[in-house]
Amino acid sequence: MSQFISASAMAEGVLTGGVAPGHFARQACQRLETTGRELGAVLDVNRTRMEARVAALEKRLAQGERPSLAGVPVGIKDNICTLQERTSCGSKILENYCAPYDATVIERLEAAGAIPVGKLNMDEFAMGSSTENSAFGVCRNPWDLQRTPGGSSGGAAAAVAAGCVPVALGSDTGGSIRQPAAFTGTVGLKPTYGRVSRYGLVAFGSSLDQIGPLARTVEDAARVYAAIAGRDDRDATSQAAAVEDPLAQLEAGVRGVRIGVPKEYLSDAIDGRIRERVQETIRRLAAEGAILVDVSLPHTPYAIPTYYIVATAEASSNLARHDGMHQGVRAAGSTDLLSCYLKNRGQGLGPEVQRRILLGTFCLSSGYYDAYYDRAMRVRTLLAQDFEQAFARCDVVIGATTPTPAFRLGEKTADPLQMYLADILTASANLAGIPALVVPAGTIDEGGTALPVGVQLMGPALSEALLLRVGRSVERVWDGPLPIAPHGVRS
C-alpha cells in the first residue's frame, strides 16, 4: 500500500526545495488516471492545464513567494467551474460544456499555490446520496468496491480515501460532503453558509449550497479552508466577517470546551455500532477535559421533509436555465421549439433530477405554495432555533453523521425515500446555515470488511476554527487519520 503524505507535508517539501513543484501534481494525475478511473471517481484529468499551473508556481517560488499550499494537488468536484475545462455536473445535458471562467475557490486555491488536477464524479447536479445518479457511471467506495462512497461528492471522497489526491473540493447542500466523508473515512467540512464563495458553483439549492474541503487529516482540511474562505464581492451571499485562522489553535485540545450531546443524534434508529463509536468518542473527549452537556434538537425528525421541499423548490428554479439551447448538448430530431425543449431536458436530465424538478415545481405552484414551501420555511426557522438554544448551553454538538455505514450499490436506488433518509442527520446544518465537520472514528466490521465511521460536529455560525480544533482532538483520540483504503493506490 502506498505511503500517505499529507498536503501539509507536500507543501513543506516543495517550499524547502526538497521536492520539485510539479512532483506531487504529476503523481496525482497518474493516480487519478489509474486508480481513480478504476473506482469511477474521475471524469477528466487535464495535464496541459496542470503543467501550466506548475510553471506559474515555479515562477512564484523563484521570486521568493511561499504560498501555503505550494505544489499540493487538489481534486475538484465537477460542479465547480474551471476555466476552459469541462464542468458537466455529472449530467448529459452539460456533457460538452466548458466553463468560461474559474470559480472563486479555484482562483484562491491557485493563489495559495495548490494545483487543481482533475474533475471528479458526482451525482447529477449534486442530487443524490450515493453517486449512482451520475450520467457517466457509478463511483465505488475504495474500502469495499460493492459499496457506495456516498454522495453527491462521492468522487471527491473516493479519490481522497484512495490516496489519489490528498485533498479535494466538494459541495454540500444537505450532507454531500459529510456523508461521503463518513462513508470513506475522510475528513469533511461544510462551512457556514456564505463563508466560502459560491461564485462558479453550479447552483442546486442557492440558500443551502456550500463549498468545502475533503481531506485525509483535519490539519489539511483546515489549510484548504483557510485558503478558500472569505468575502467575495461576486457572491452577494458571502459573509464579510474576517476569517479566523483555523490553524492557530488547532492543537489546543478540548479542555473546558462544552460539548453538547443531543439525544436525537444517538437514537435507536442509528446503527448500534455507529452509536457506540460516537459514545466512545464522547467518553474519550471527556477524558481529555471536555465538559459534556445534554441538549435537545427536537425538530430533527422534520429536517428531511423540510429539506426536500426547500431544496427541490430552489432546484426547479435554478435548473430551468439548463435547457440544451445555450450550452451543453442539444437533442437531435426536433421539429419546433417546444419539442426541442422537451427532448433536450427529457434526454439530457436523469430521472432523479427530473423527479426533484417536478417536486419543486409542484411545491411552488399556485394553490400549494402555502401548504408546502411556506410551511417548510417556517419549520426551517424552528430547526435554526433548536441550534440557537443548544448553543446557548454548549460550544459544539456531537453526534452520528449517518444512520448506517456505507450501503451497497443498488441497495436504495429503487426506493427514493430510503435514499433521502440517508441525509436525516446532515440536512439540519444546511437548513440552519451552520458549519459542520466530520472526522473518522475508526472502522467497524461488516461481514469481514472494515467500513469507516464518521463522527459529526456542529457549531454556531462562523465557528469553523473551534470545530476544527475539536475535530483534531477527535482525530487524536482515535490515533490519527485512517490509512489509505484497501482498494486505493498501491505505489
As annotated, the active-site residues are 77, 152, 176
Quote the CA–CA distance of 128 and 76 in Å, as a whole number.
18
Partners of 398 in beta bridges? 457
Residue 156: partners with Cβ closer than 8 Å, 6 or more residues away: 41, 75, 76, 77, 120, 122, 168, 169, 170, 177, 180, 214
Do residues 106 and 237 lie in contact, with contact meaning Cβ atoms separated by under 8 Å?
no
Provide DSSP, 230-253: S--TT-TTS--SPPP-TTTTTTS-
220 class by beta-carbon count within 10 Å (0-12 exposed, 13-18 middle, 19+ buried): buried
Angle between helices 23-31 and 7-15 (to 10 degrees): 140
Side chain identity, residue 66: R
CA distances from 11 to 40, 162, 331, 335, 426 (A): 28, 20, 46, 56, 32
Which triple of cell numbers denotes residue 314? 430552489
295 three-state secondary structure: strand
Side chain identity, residue 211: I
Work out whether strand 187-190 and strand 291-295 pair parallel, antiparallel, or are unpaired: unpaired
Residue 340: partners with Cβ closer than 8 Å, 6 or more residues away: 324, 325, 330, 331, 334
Do residues 208 and 431 lie in contact, with contact meaning Cβ atoms separated by under 8 Å?
yes
DSSP 372: I
